[in-house]
Structure 1
Amino acid sequence: MTTSAPTLGVTGSTGRLGRRVADRLAAAGVPQRLVVRDPGRAPDLPGAGAVQATYADGEAARRALDGVETLFMVSGAEEPDRVAQHKTFIDAAAAAGVGHLVYVSFFGAAPDATFTLARDHWATEEHLRASGLRYTVLRDNLYIDFFPMMVGEDGVIRGPAADGRAAAVTQDDIADVAAAVLRDPGAHENARYDLTGPEALTLHEVAATISEVTGRTVDYHDESLNEAYASRAGYGAPTWQVDAWVSTYTAIAAGEMDGVTEAVATVAGHPATSLRAHLLEYGAG
């Protein structure tokens, strides 16, 4: 803990998105409490102290959140009981006296969403709304950062997305939005933001853009459902996990990732980053 007893809590600082948020807050001189599974892995940032807690351990979470006014909550690891863990953590936040919780959800979260994990996010949002906490929900579209990772060793993106479009957004843009909300939560009370990039692309267009910018030939193969399940069977993942992987693509095909918003520009104060701009800055690695 820091001597300034920060009243802003941040989860997920050992991960890609949470670390970006923590870095931005530290750069702005904002004290923060990093809530992590393993304090030894927490980033060493000015004005930040680490405390141990997990989403599943309500009592430890309540202790870790004591005195926190505003809390940034990334979604937990993809596990069968993720919703239960989320609910336990939200309840602990309410019991600890947290006033405002900023939750990282998913674009199109709904009880009947095609993307199976978006249903988890909807259930978490419903619990958060019923908790009595003030809240802000950040509904992120697919991560632009992950598009290059979808490319197989043979240079092909495979999945049953047909000609559907996804308005993917960069993790940097999401972190900029989150940091802005956390620094002035009252301006975003009980708000929901659908965070997207500046364009909605088909995976054919994604492949073409990666090819053009990186010089590597990348193609997209629109798998059938049978092909999609067969091509992922070798990973030995449980059925629910494979369903999540495949439904990422079928949700695109269903149009549930489509629709560009101005939320990044409105909240973060700068235009959203395109796939092309992201690749030019970071490459395909």
Structure 2
Amino acid sequence: MIIVTGATGQLGRQIVERLLTRVPADQVGVSVRDPQKAQALADQGVRVRKGSFTDAGSLTHAFEGATQVLIVSADKTGQEEVRQHRTAIDGAVAAGAGRILYTSHMGASATSRFQSCRDHAATEEALRTCGVPFTSLRNGFYAASALQFLGPAVESGGQVALPADGPVSWTAHADLAEAAAAALADEGRFEGPTPPLTAAHALTFADLADIATKVTGRTITRTTAPDDQYREQLVGFGVPAETADQLLGIYAASRAGEFAAVDPTLAALIGREPITMGSLLRERLSSN
């Protein structure tokens, strides 16, 4: 049985939906913190069990009978995130899984300027030493984050004031979910970390502002805010200082080229060209 964790989250839910187009529902199980939120999956024949990365005992039941376990990365950062991932890895090993898959990130490195990428690197190291074959899905940077950074300017026009950045391979959740489902359905296709699973182009925020201007017909201008000023603004809006520093890490990492790689592996996995930022912007506008 293929077990997917975090199946009620934005990425995990889409992974299960796409996996169900490839394998029978009775071969799929999910580990979720709140089974009631996964009732729609249960109605389709998916095995739904309660499991939490903070409760090792719950994973014994949730992972029972697993042939593969896909660990969707936790929504934490730092030591807490890595600790939770290690608990999930240990649970998958104890359950007898023949392969562990993990949603990592392009640029995962112990020396990354972005905390999340350092956490992913630590988790990948735990996978390397767990004694079970693993696949680390090196996902491109979520395009949804770019849309959040662009903020209300997409709807109303105006300026987008952000720190200096570099090119980023913004990639749609839907494409990454399809890729994960393909990797699960074709067990052993990748050994260890995958190549970067990215969209076809790496774009700066100036590029995104130009695309948004063309899509909306409203002038959207990208201006540069000094890092310190941007941090002060975030903290002033109530963002915790630690979170503000982590967000600044994204810009520092992009300036260093950590997210600039593009690779054809994602397109090959999903059998089509990845979704473009222009398409995602149109989708966002049509849903408002």
Task: Tell me if both proteins adopt one fold, taking TM over 0.5 as the criterion.
Answer: yes
Residue 141 of structure 1 corresponds to which residue in structure 2?
140
Query: Match of 1:166, as an amino acid?
Result: V
Query: Counterpart of 2:253?
Result: 251
Aligned twin of 2:74: 76
Show structure 2 runs of 5+ residues with no match. none
Which of 183, 186, 195 is equivalent to 2:185? 183
Tell whether the 8 Å contact from 1:168 to 1:200 is kept in structure 2 after alignment: yes
Any conservation in 2 of the 1:56–1:86 contact (CA below 8 Å)?
A: no
In the TM superposition, 1:193-272 aligns within 5 A as 193-272=195-274
* 1:36 matches 2:35: no
Deviations 1:122-154 (A, max 9, x none): 000000111012111111121123322212335
Same amino acid, percent of matched pairs: 33
> 1:161 pairs with 138, 142, 164, which one?
164
Q: Would the alpha carbon gap of residues 84 and 140 (structure 1) be closer, same or farther in structure 2, given more than 3 Å must change?
A: same
Offset, 1:68: 0.8
- What TM-score, normalized by structure 2, do the two folds share? 0.90
Change (3 A) 1:250 1:156: farther
Please report how far the alpha carbon of residue 282 of structure 1 lies from its aligned counterpart in structure 2 after TM superposition.
Answer: 4.5
Q: For the Cα contact (< 8 Å) 1:116–1:243, is it kept in 2?
A: no
Report SS of the residue matched to 1:188.
Answer: coil
Gap regions ≥5 residues in structure 1: 1-6
What displacement does 1:281 show?
Answer: 4.2
* Off by >6 Å, runs of 4+ in structure 1: none
Instruction: Give the conservation status (yes or no) of the 8 Å contact 1:10–1:22.
Output: yes
Cα deviation, residue 239, structure 1:
3.2
| Distance across 2 between alignment mates of 1:270 and 1:153 | 31
TM-score by length of 1: 0.91
Q: Which residue of 2 aligns with 1:26?
A: 20
RMSD, matched Cα: 1.8
Could you tell me which amino acid in structure 2 is paired with residue 54 of structure 1? Answer: S
Q: For 2:7, which of 8, 13, 18 is the aligned residue? A: 13
In the alignment, which residue of structure 2 is the partner of 1:3? none
Q: Distance in 1 between matches of 2:262 and 2:61?
A: 40
In the TM superposition, residue 214 of structure 1 has moved relative to its aligned partner by 2.2
CA separation in 2, counterparts of 1:181 and 1:152?
Answer: 33
1:70 deviation in Å? 0.9
Question: How far apart are the structure 2 equivalents of 1:22 and 1:74?
Answer: 11
* Shift of residue 18, structure 1, vs aligned partner: 0.7
Q: Is the 8 A contact 2:19 2:181 kept in 1?
A: yes
Partners of 1:269 and 1:43 in 2: CA distance = 30
Give the Cα–Cα distance (whole angstroms) in 2 for the partners of residues 74 and 225 of structure 1: 31
Find out whether 1:95 has 2:94 as its counterpart. yes
Q: 1:253 to 1:100 in 2, by over 3 A?
A: same
Q: Distance in 2 between matches of 1:156 and 1:90?
A: 44
Q: Secondary structure at the match of 1:147?
A: helix
Give the distance between the partners of 1:159 and 1:243, measured in 2 at CA.
14
Q: Could you tell me how far 1:197 is from its partner in structure 2?
A: 0.8
Aligned to 1:67: 65
Shift of 1:106: 1.0
TM-aligned CA distance change 1:230 to 1:53, over 3 Å: same
